[in-house]
Chains A and B, each alone.
Chain A
């Protein structure tokens, strides 16, 4: 952290009973304000990384191998160097990135590309004077790989497991005796769900524009965490971290895929150094699928032991997932299961199967996105088995305290979300017997699921400067990846300093700015917003001092400071300017209470009784996530997350050929993300809530909550529509077809 004269630091050891956001007079916090950078985005003036043109810049196109395992024997650069416009072929077996970095790491990811660990691994970059020249040569570059047998067939290898070290959560946790509970319980359920590999598929492909200036590297690139990504890259290149700067002013989507650095970053940096010119490297869309990161496929066994009233005495959630050799990340599917439902006997485990396929890492809501599929579908199965309403079943299993850690919940309104959602959605019109409702060719059904997403903050910081004109500037390395950071930070500052958005400048995405944990894990707005809050709190104190009053006795509104019946322009009080740093870090509140956001999903589908095609007809989500900082952007984040859930349920699957590890459907034509026609006019509602344990904003994370449980709501609706219970995702028509009656 910067050592600054005027730093307001807060470690979240104690609850924060009050928030200045509740006593602000500006009345901007929470409001559905238009995005700060909106006019730029809609007019094409927002610059994304690949749009920067630097003098003497060369174009770089990456080369991925067409073999699924082995060793690079020879790269025949001469075969392409004479093509018109080709500058060079650059490769660096030692320093090129083999596997992308994981989110939050500061050490280099796995480098070294002479060994081929998966199909599509990047081994070279071709430089050209034009994109066309570089791309042509890259596609023609002969790369000779001595092939080896690889592990490409998950089914074949899934019994060769290892327990990984803790990552997000412990790999294995248990309490009590699940097997005993299963043996004794009047009612049990033992079902296994499988989910496929997925890809974040952000609309902006990974891109890095690299240039060196007197030994210092600058990358204009698409990154979620510039502060840490700069360190990852520095370590990968063997340079001092103070010599690497990453700038990500606008990021065209991340969803986890840009948390850590990817192969194009090192390739661009190394090529730029070698050529002595700036280099722009943009991944081809196919390469984004092949050589960045995927969400692991999973096989999840859920066991429930319950009384005949549905009260759980045992919960088991055992998962198999995958990763490359020497990579410790595992998909933490059990993360939501830890604290969602009561039940004394618990077993939550994750085991890794080593595969020679693209790196597995974080994709939106790592853990909950797929873990809640198994859990929430299994709850639906249990409810049906017991003939208890699915909401009532969850009500009966609502824990008073965290069932693993035995601490209180900071705030929790799961039941409220379910009840509000049920009322708004017309849940009481649902026929619990499947297959009873028809609309022409369509079998209609309703399903629901709970949503939970753990809340946390990481170390974060921001600088706020109030200048002589009364204008505030916020600077932090934090990013806006579509999450609304620009706007939300301006609202926090505006509320505390009595300013409107047009009096505030927000500067994001530069790793030279005060460090930030970036956009990820739903911690962004809370961490960064709290940092801005703390900085502004210090500025308020300074202003109050100048007025000779207590900060509590001062009101800031519309650029004026009001105290003891005097009104003074803030600009006047600011003098030559006031600068302050805000720093927040997690503390004892992280473990003294369990912090999660909660919600409930409601979905109505039509299943076509001829073809098995599924269409989502209606969708409603109710969420509680502490103070909502901006109603418009928060709602949009939930719409987006729910849509990820619809894709996860119905259409998304990254298929790997088991004979050679090739990602078969590695483009946007055949990896099916939802299109506009797949998504109805989703309704999103929020319950009012304030959480004094999380941060001074009294807010919780919202970006990933909406995907948690969403696919299960869709699947449960499908079951209600046609009686088919499919446990292998995505629920494509071929899986449903076999169970439909004759046409």
Chain B
């Protein structure tokens, strides 16, 4: 089978049952994406497929030979960190680090979703999203963090959103609605 991952071409002969996650981890030496549950219940395996964040454990490698896959390794390296990666370091958006690649890929995909105007369960008005912290929290709830760096993860994403200067990523002018 033939794959395009992080802009590179890969050949592999995985089992027909091999997930995109196990393709990366077991066949291609791309161990950055993590297996936390193997059932789409934790988000640690999140990668970007054609720019969309997905759980790579719940999709077959064989079905993605025509797609562009981006994993955490493709976002940046220790010498050349992606802004989201750098923000996670600065804000301590991690502890044990196991959920971290999934968090970062998810956050990158999520910001694109907001820029596309996609609302969330936290949006009071589905046509006009105020991208405040409750939006970040809701949209990132598909990435479990047991060490719980959640407040720091929100801060890291907020910083990247603010730095982008993008209108769609600006927080609400009013304080976020409490309790809901």
Q: Do chains A and B touch in the complex (CB under 8 A)?
A: yes
Residues of A within 8 A of B (CB): 34-35, 37-48, 50-51, 53, 85, 130-133, 136, 200-205, 250-253, 255, 282, 284-285, 439-442, 444, 481-484, 606, 615, 617, 632-633, 635-637, 639-640, 642-644, 667-669, 673-677, 679-682
Binds A, one of B17-25, B123-131, B160-168: B17-25
Residue in A43, A132, A682 whose beta carbon sits within 8 Å of that of B77 in the complex: A43
Q: List, in ascending order, chain B residues with CB within 8 A of A38's CB.
A: 88-89, 94
Q: List, in ascending order, chain B residues with CB within 8 A of A681's CB.
A: 133, 151, 154-155
The digit string for B78-92, where 1 denotes a CB below 8 A from any CB of A, is 110100011011101
In the assembled complex, the Cα of A136 lies from the Cα of B12 at a distance in Å of: 21
Residue pair A34, B96 in contact (C-beta under 8 Å): no
Q: List, in ascending order, chain A residues with CB within 8 A of B111's CB.
A: none
Q: Is there a chain A Cβ closer than 8 Å to B100's Cβ?
A: yes
Q: List, in ascending order, chain B residues with CB within 8 A of A483's CB.
A: 95
Q: Please name 8 further chain A to chain B contacts, defined as beta carbons within 8 Å, in addition to the given A40-B78, A43-B77, A676-B153, sorted by A numbering.
A: A42-B94, A44-B71, A45-B77, A251-B96, A440-B179, A482-B97, A668-B37, A681-B133
User: Which chain B residues (115-156) contact chain A, with CB distance < 8 Å?
Assistant: 122, 133-134, 136-138, 140-155
In the complex with contacts A43-B73, A205-B35, A615-B141 CB distance below 8 A: no
- 14 cross-chain CB contacts under 8 A: A35-B92, A38-B88, A38-B94, A42-B100, A43-B76, A44-B32, A50-B25, A285-B36, A444-B179, A615-B179, A633-B92, A640-B147, A676-B145, A681-B133
Q: List, in ascending order, chain B residues with CB within 8 A of A635's CB.
A: 92
User: Which chain B residues (10-57) contact chain A, with CB distance < 8 Å?
Assistant: 14-15, 17-18, 22, 25-26, 29-39, 41-42, 44
CB distance from B62 to the nearest CB of A (A): 12
Residue in A43, A44, A482 whose beta carbon sits within 8 Å of that of B95 in the complex: A482
Residue pair A39, B95 in contact (C-beta under 8 Å): no
Q: List, in ascending order, chain B residues with CB within 8 A of A51's CB.
A: 25, 31
In the assembled complex, the Cα of A615 lies from the Cα of B149 at a distance in Å of: 18
Q: Is the interface of B mostly helix, strand, loop or mixed?
A: loop
In the complex with contacts A41-B94, A43-B75, A668-B42 CB distance below 8 A: yes
Q: Is the interface of A mostly helix, strand, loop or mixed?
A: loop
Residue pair B89, A203 in contact (C-beta under 8 Å): no
In the assembled complex, the Cα of A34 lies from the Cα of B179 at a distance in Å of: 33
Residue in A35, A643, A668 whose beta carbon sits within 8 Å of that of B150 in the complex: A643
Residue pair B41, A667 in contact (C-beta under 8 Å): yes
Residue pair A41, B100 in contact (C-beta under 8 Å): yes
In the assembled complex, the Cα of A43 lies from the Cα of B31 at a distance in Å of: 10
Q: List, in ascending order, chain A residues with CB within 8 A of B90's CB.
A: 34
In the complex with contacts A482-B95, A639-B149, A640-B95, A252-B34 CB distance below 8 A: yes
In the assembled complex, the Cα of A636 lies from the Cα of B100 at a distance in Å of: 14
In the assembled complex, the Cα of A39 lies from the Cα of B78 at a distance in Å of: 5
In the complex with contacts A38-B89, A132-B18, A203-B34 CB distance below 8 A: yes
Residue pair B37, A676 in contact (C-beta under 8 Å): no
CB-nearest residue of chain B relative to A636? B92
Residue pair A34, B89 in contact (C-beta under 8 Å): yes
Residue pair B95, A637 in contact (C-beta under 8 Å): yes
Q: List, in ascending order, chain B residues with CB within 8 A of A606's CB.
A: 178-179
Q: List, in ascending order, chain B residues with CB within 8 A of A632's CB.
A: 92
Residue pair B147, A253 in contact (C-beta under 8 Å): yes
Residue pair A44, B178 in contact (C-beta under 8 Å): no
Residue pair B140, A676 in contact (C-beta under 8 Å): yes
Q: Is there a chain A Cβ closer than 8 Å to B171's Cβ?
A: no
Residue in B122, B146, B178 whose beta carbon sits within 8 Å of that of A673 in the complex: B146
CB distance from B158 to the nearest CB of A (A): 10
Residue in A43, A633, A682 whose beta carbon sits within 8 Å of that of B78 in the complex: A43
Q: List, in ascending order, chain B residues with CB within 8 A of A34's CB.
A: 89-90, 92
Residue pair B150, A48 in contact (C-beta under 8 Å): no
